[in-house]
């Protein structure tokens, strides 16, 4: 079973920042925070990951609280193509990825 | 760079029939995974290969599911005989070396409907 908890769904206006929260209540010290998304009728797509520090890449930013019990994925300027299911995962190297139900993000014009 | 290829994209069969899915991972990716995704749920790992050896098949229903990865490249997942509850999307993924296996690249999946 997935270890993380996420809201079932969220809406975001096109062009605004989308902030997707995730709770990692049982994350251990050697587990990374990974984010994936799954656009309708496609396979999941890796977005970003981090351990303690905030991370940014061309797709998104990842904010991890100091106690690592929560994280936020930020899409700075959401577009309609960002409508997808977003998954956060606690991952230890060498283990398997365990996906929960994720958050359905709807970007609306 | 070509992505993970899967075929067929869709398959409809009757219960008790058999079915096979094919996957071609990204070139150079030694690790290959098969996932099952039931509607409304996240993907669930069925089996993981490292080259042509099985690393984890703990969640593979071995009485009806089988998978092989001959020559360490392409892979085939088979279901025989199929049950109604096998209706799902079957996803193949692969990982590049040196990434700790957390960064996986997924194919488009095969949607299986068992009637």
A27 pLDDT more than 90: yes
Mean pLDDT along residues A86-102: 93
Query: Pick from A101, A77, A81: which is nearest to A89 by CA?
Result: A101
- DSSP E strands in chain A: the ranges are 9-13, 18-23, 31-38, 45-50, 55-56, 61-64, 70-75, 84-92, 103-108
Confidence label for A93 from pLDDT (cuts 50, 70 and 90): confident
Record: contact A91-B56, CB cut-off 8 A: no
Q: What is the pLDDT at residue A94? A: 83
pLDDT < 50 positions in chain B? none
Say if CB B46 and CB B65 are below 8 A apart. Answer: yes
Q: Considering chain A, what percentage of its residues have pLDDT values greater than 70? A: 100
Mean pLDDT along residues A88-106: 93
Q: Residue B72's CB: how many other CB atoms inside 10 A?
A: 14
Q: What is the pLDDT at residue B99? A: 64
Please state, in angstroms and as integers, the Cα–Cα distance from residue B106 to each residue in A10, B3, B26, B33, B85, following that order: 24, 8, 10, 9, 23
Mean pLDDT along residues A73-77: 97
Residue numbers in B near A34 (CB within 8 A) = 102
């Amino acid at each position: 079973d997935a270890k993380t908890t996420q809201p079932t769904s969220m809406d975001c206006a096109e062009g605004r920042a989308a902030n997707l929260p995730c709770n990692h209540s049982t994350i251990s010290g050697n587990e990374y925070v990974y984010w994936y998304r799954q656009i309708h009728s496609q396979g999941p797509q890796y977005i970003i990951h981090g351990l303690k520090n905030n991370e940014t890449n061309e797709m998104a930013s990842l904010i991890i609280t100091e106690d690592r019990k929560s994280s936020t994925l930020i899409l700075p300027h959401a577009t309609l193509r960002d409508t997808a299911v977003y998954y956060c995962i606690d991952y230890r190297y060498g283990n398997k990825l365990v996906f929960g139900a994720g958050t359905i993000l709807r970007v609306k014009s | 760079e070509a992505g993970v290829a899967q075929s067929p994209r869709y398959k409809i069969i009757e219960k008790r029939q058999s079915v096979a899915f094919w996957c071609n991972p990204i070139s150079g990716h030694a690790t290959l995974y098969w996932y099952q995704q039931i509607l409304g749920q996240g993907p669930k790992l069925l089996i993981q290969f490292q080259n042509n050896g099985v690393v984890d098949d703990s969640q593979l229903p071995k009485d009806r599911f089988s998978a092989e990865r001959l020559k360490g490249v392409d892979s085939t997942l088979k279901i025989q005989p199929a049950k109604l509850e096998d209706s799902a999307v079957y996803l193949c993924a692969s990982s590049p070396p040196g990434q700790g296996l957390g960064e996986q690249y997924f194919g488009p999946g095969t949607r299986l409907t068992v009637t």
